[in-house]
Amino acid sequence: MEHLRRLVEELALAGYQLDRSAYNYLTGMNEAERTTFARNLLLRIVQKPPSDRILSKTELLEMEMLETSLHPELLPSVATTIPAKQIASDIEVIKDPSKEIGTGSSIEDFSHYFRDRFQKQLGTLRARIDTRDASTIGVALGAAQNEKIKVVAMVMEKRESQRKLFLQIDDLDDNATVLVSPDERGAYEVAQKVPLDQVICVIGVRAKGDLIVAKEILLPDIPDHRPHVADEEIWAVLLSDLHVGSKKFLADALGKVIDWLNLRIGAPNQRFIAERTKYVVVCGDIVDGIGVFPRQEQELAITDLYEQYREAAKYIGAIPDHIETVILPGNHDPVRQALPQPAIPKDFGGPLYESRSLISLGNPAEVSLHGVRLLLHHGRSLDDILSSLPSVNFTQPEKAMKLQLQCRHLASEYGNRTSIAPQRVDHLVIQNVPDIFHSGHVHVVKYENYRGTQIINSGAWQAQTDYQRRVGIVPTPGILTAVNLQTLQVRLINFMES
Ligand code: D5M
Ligand code: FE
Ligand code: ZN
């Protein structure tokens, strides 16, 4: 009778009711017959909606005669089985900084940190055919004037003079000055966008003094690649920036997401995704927090951190049990601000942890879902990158994320608004090429495929804040991003619409 109840519910959602004759007709069937009948019935209703809202047995029989021609993707399932329940979860945590975070920040750690960053990025560049033979700055400066040279070094300083860019570079042993003229267009464009403290390869010629004239500048970059994909059709829902506790938190929209995941609402093609959703990943800013910026209390509906998590737990706890849920902290969650951040602690986040089983990771983290590798990062450093990238604005987080992939680093510049804790190792280097790179923070939904990696910024569930209005930031809240792990195709569902 469970199936019959679901059919009645689905019909009600579509605006139809069964009269007694129709109900009796259905209860007279056996379970298997009823399942098939129900599936076809819903399909026909989508295809050729009956004019009468109350369906009798006669109408059911008439509809049974109609041919169906819908695409199988649109099959509204009154499924006896929900695909995501049938498929076992396949999740592996590849990297979680939580376990490795030390106290850090001694002078020794600081030099260790940069040495580790340099070595890792040098390793990436050495793996490339075109940069394999790069030398040190010392060797390059020993070359004769006008001789061709190729060095790997870190950008320490950037300045502009008479339309030319000058990069001060350092390879931990020596330093040099690189002159980049706008006439070398490719090199100039890279020099413009390269963040400070980024490791690059400079190809050029030796000039006087400590000067190198650049012909080409290469970032470590990711190779054009074929991503890993899942064997079967399974979807992951990517969320971020819930900001529960803020006056601008969109409770109705997020409530609808939960209803949709529980198959209570949604058009057939949206339901199709919910039925195949095996993972929900929440990439930080779960709550709005307390004291994150001056006078934030004026923007809070819930002024107690624990209560904010208690409210958030109502949503997280209502995600169906068969969906694995991964959470990360953002800059509004109560963990240290410096990257890498540890997982949300149990003392504040208690209600979340009690609400369901969770995979709670630090920021940034890496997981594999059915073999698909995801790099997860809240995205605080996107502010720094977006404000310094020429001809890019805050509505283009995907462009900043693309630059992070090219730099193979999540926050190259040290000492800007994004604080970095100098650990002995640099957790922010992108060592593995991700198949999906997921961030939030900017509150603007955008996605783009870059060399086989699906870049996704998952927007927010908070309407425009007063701060954002003052500085002219227009977010795109209430739009959900879902990704098919078999194809890496992205689908957006707008939960602000009814
Ligand atoms: O950040 C959401 C977006 O808004 C992100 O692009 C930064 C920007 N933002 C929001 N509040 C501030 C303040 N007070 N200063 C600077 N930038 C801000 P979120 O992490 O959700 O606050
Ligand atoms: Fe946010
Ligand atoms: Zn944020």
* Mean pLDDT along residues 347-353: 96
Q: For residues 492 and 483, what is the distance between their CA atoms, to the nearest angstrom?
A: 9
Over residues 229-261, the pLDDT tens digits come to: 999 999 999 999 999 999 999 999 999 999 999
- Kindly tell me if the per-residue pLDDT of 103 is higher than 70: no
User: Which ligand 1 atom is nearest residue 331's CA?
Assistant: 20
Q: For residues 152 and 215, what is the distance between their CA atoms, to the nearest angstrom?
A: 14
Its sign, for the CA torsion 385, 284, 422, 292, is positive
Residue 391, sorted as left (phi over 0), alpha (psi -120 to 50) or beta, turns out to be left
Spacing, Cα 343 to ligand 3 middle (Å): 15
C-beta 285 within 6 A of ligand 1: yes
Confidence of residue 70 (pLDDT cuts 50, 70, 90): very low
- Nearest residue CA, atom 19 of ligand 1? 441
Q: Which of 28-32, 52-56, 155-159 has the lowest mean pLDDT?
A: 28-32
Strand order in the sheet with 359-360: 359-360, 324-328, 277-283, 235-239, 479-484, 490-494
Q: For residues 297 and 316, what is the distance between their CA atoms, to the nearest angstrom?
A: 24
**Residue 394: both structure tokens together:** 């805050």
Q: Which of 60-69, 274-283, 362-371, 410-419 has the lowest mean pLDDT?
A: 60-69
- Nearest residue CA, atom 14 of ligand 1? 293
Spacing, Cα 380 to ligand 3 middle (Å): 6
Residue 375, pLDDT score: 98
Mutate to test the pocket of ligand 1, among 395, 441, 444 (most ligand atoms within 8 A of CB): 441
Its sign, for the CA torsion 409, 410, 416, 421, is negative
Confidence of residue 345 (pLDDT cuts 50, 70, 90): very high
Confidence of residue 77 (pLDDT cuts 50, 70, 90): very low
Q: For residues 21 and 457, what is the distance between their CA atoms, to the nearest angstrom?
A: 51
- Is residue 464 within 8 A of residue 433, CB to CB? The reply is no
- Kindly tell me if the per-residue pLDDT of 188 is higher than 50: yes
Spacing, Cα 113 to ligand 3 middle (Å): 25
Residue 33, pLDDT score: 76
More confident site: 423 or 280: 280
Residue 76, pLDDT score: 46
Over residues 437-484, the pLDDT tens digits come to: 999 999 999 999 999 999 999 999 999 999 899 989 999 999 999 999
Spacing, Cα 379 to ligand 1 middle (Å): 11
Residue 107, pLDDT score: 66
Looking at the CA of 377, which ligand is closest? 3
Q: What is the mean pLDDT of the chain?
A: 92
* Mean pLDDT along residues 255-280: 97
C-beta 293 within 6 A of ligand 1: yes
- Kindly tell me if the per-residue pLDDT of 69 is higher than 80: no
Residue 9, pLDDT score: 77
User: Which ligand 1 atom is nearest residue 383's CA?
Assistant: 6
* Mean pLDDT along residues 294-310: 95
Residue 333, pLDDT score: 98
What is the residue-wise DSSP string for 27-45? HTS-HHHHHHHHHHHHHHH
Residues written for the chain: 498
C-beta 464 within 6 A of ligand 1: no
Residue 35, pLDDT score: 75
Over residues 114-154, the pLDDT tens digits come to: 999 999 999 999 999 999 999 999 999 999 999 999 999 99
C-beta 291 within 6 A of ligand 1: no
More confident site: 271 or 21: 271
Confidence of residue 6 (pLDDT cuts 50, 70, 90): confident
What beta strand segments (E) does 240-298 contain? 277-283
Spacing, Cα 124 to ligand 1 middle (Å): 33
Please give the model's pTM, rounded to 2 decimal places: 0.85
C-beta 441 within 6 A of ligand 1: yes
> For residue 200, which phi and psi values (nearest 5 degrees)?
-135, 170
- Kindly tell me if the per-residue pLDDT of 177 is higher than 70: yes
Confidence of residue 206 (pLDDT cuts 50, 70, 90): very high
Looking at the CA of 417, which ligand is closest? 1
Spacing, Cα 488 to ligand 3 middle (Å): 25
Spacing, Cα 412 to ligand 2 middle (Å): 21
- Kindly tell me if the per-residue pLDDT of 295 is higher than 50: yes
Spacing, Cα 85 to ligand 3 middle (Å): 32
- Is residue 321 within 8 A of residue 89, CB to CB? The reply is no
User: Which ligand 1 atom is nearest residue 382's CA?
Assistant: 6
C-beta 467 within 6 A of ligand 1: yes
* Mean pLDDT along residues 75-80: 48
Q: For residues 192 and 388, what is the distance between their CA atoms, to the nearest angstrom?
A: 9
